[in-house]
Amino acid sequence: MGLSGGVDSAVSAALLKKDGYNVTGVFIKAWTPPGYPCSWKEDRRSAMRVAAVLDIPFITLDLEKEYKKEVVDYMIAEYKEGRTPNPDVMCNKEIKFGHFLKFALNNGADFVATGHYARTLQTKLPKKVLEKSLACATRRPPPALTACRAGEDFSERSFFWQLWEGTDKNKDQSYFLWTLTQDQLKHILFPIGDLQKPEVRKLAGKFGLPQAARKDSQGLCFLGKVDMKGFLARYIPQKKGEVLNSDGEKIGYHNGALFFTIGERHGFNITNKLEKKTPLYVIEKNVEKNTITVAPAVEKLSSNSKSVILKNINIIGEIPNKKLLCRIRYRQEKIDCKFDGNKVIFDKSQMGVAPGQSLVLYKDEICLGGGIIVQ
């Protein structure tokens, strides 16, 4: 059980023990930026208190080097290329369900569990889908509209795992879990996925856990709440550039186009008095010229995207040959779309599409996978 020190993972551990699982608590030690408050020690103490109350073994898994290389360095490299990455997605892929899962399985575990607000469901594969899966298991790359992944062997299996949204829609974290595969999902438990957050708080008190009154952590996975521009400025030199309006006229300045994402409305300075009266949003950025173009919400409508191209696509299960739903940012209301290979076509144009972010596909509450937006 991944114990972060927070209430969600604490209650998850308690529920698993109550259900008869043999639970070992694992605190994952990640990398801490130099000069930032060192919170991991207090988080670890909090996790240890959970293990003491529940009377379960407790160990610390040091993934500091892995986190720095595969999450932080990735994030910095993406920003340097002018893209807006999603480090929480990479944290889940590489750390929690990458190194942590491998560590657990290599040390005799049957499952890893986390406090994510998401659900898994094992379901029988329809015969026609199974036949397609068997056929595509020998083809590379697999067709987009089947339930297979390159290299997977479906010959001995008629069941597959689905990833569902959490019951609490205000806390649902399926958006950050789209990289999970069939081989991973069969070893993953989300004990609080069918609960509402207030229920989790009540259960923490019922189990006598000290986290019952502890505030939720916010911000980046493991790093917590950090000022992103300030953090990136340590690794990417700031360079003063021009802020332009949609007519190409200079109306202000900023400290580096690399630091901005499409749809952002803060962090730049407007010197034109007329432009100051209206909220402005970044609608375009030119990394080579170090400029950003901004516009009010009304003008911003003209910068909408009708479709996007994806890379690093991961398909969890069957993609129905019909209209789907998707999100292009966390907590966005799901939007109607069509999925065609590596292209997603929106029924209605979308504002604020940012290369580097994740697009996640859904069928109702089922998360079907996703990819990283290229353009």
Q: What does the mean pLDDT of the chain come to?
A: 85
Name the domain count of the chain: 3
Show the domain range for 265.
237-301
**CA distance linking residue 141 with residue 313, whole number of Å:** 11
Q: Is the pLDDT of residue 223 over 90?
A: no
Residue 261 and residue 364 share a domain: no
Got the DSSP string for 150-201?
Answer: TT---TT--EEEEEEE-SSTTT--GGGGTT--HHHHTTEE-TTTTS-HHHHH
Q: Is 91 a catalytic residue?
A: yes
Question: Which residue of the set 91, 148, 326, 367 is catalytic?
Answer: 91
In the chain, DSSP finds a helix count (H) and a strand count (E) of 11, 17
Question: Which residue of the set 148, 221, 326, 367 is catalytic?
Answer: 221
3-state class of 119 per DSSP?
strand
Q: Is the pLDDT of residue 262 over 60?
A: yes
What's the whole-model pTM score? Answer: 0.84
Using a 10 angstrom Cβ sphere, with 0-12 exposed, 13-18 middle and 19 or more buried, the burial of residue 348 is exposed
The reply to whether omega before 126 is within 30° of 0 (cis) is no
**CA distance linking residue 341 with residue 343, whole number of Å:** 6
**CA distance linking residue 275 with residue 293, whole number of Å:** 13
pLDDT in tens, 115-126: 999 999 988 665
User: For position 299, what pLDDT does the model report?
Assistant: 56
Does residue 260 fall inside a structural domain? Answer: yes
User: For position 211, what pLDDT does the model report?
Assistant: 83
Region 173-197 average pLDDT: 96
pLDDT in tens, 84-123: 899 999 999 999 999 999 999 999 999 999 999 999 998 8
Angle among Cα 301, 303, 307 to the nearest 5 degrees reads 105
Q: Is the pLDDT of residue 35 over 80?
A: no
Query: Tell me, what CATH number does 311's domain have?
Result: 2.40.30.10
Residue 184 and residue 266 share a domain: no
Residue 173 and residue 61 share a domain: yes
Residue 313 and residue 290 share a domain: no
pLDDT in tens, 324-347: 999 999 988 999 999 988 999 999
Q: Is 367 a catalytic residue?
A: no
Residue 347 and residue 281 share a domain: no
**CA distance linking residue 53 with residue 118, whole number of Å:** 25
Residue 111 and residue 180 share a domain: yes
Between 131 and 80, the higher pLDDT residue: 80
pLDDT in tens, 52-76: 999 999 999 999 999 999 999 999 9
Region 174-183 average pLDDT: 96
Residue 262 and residue 322 share a domain: no
State percent of the chain over pLDDT 90.
62
pLDDT in tens, 189-218: 999 999 999 999 999 999 999 887 777 766
Name the amino acid, one letter, at 154. Answer: F
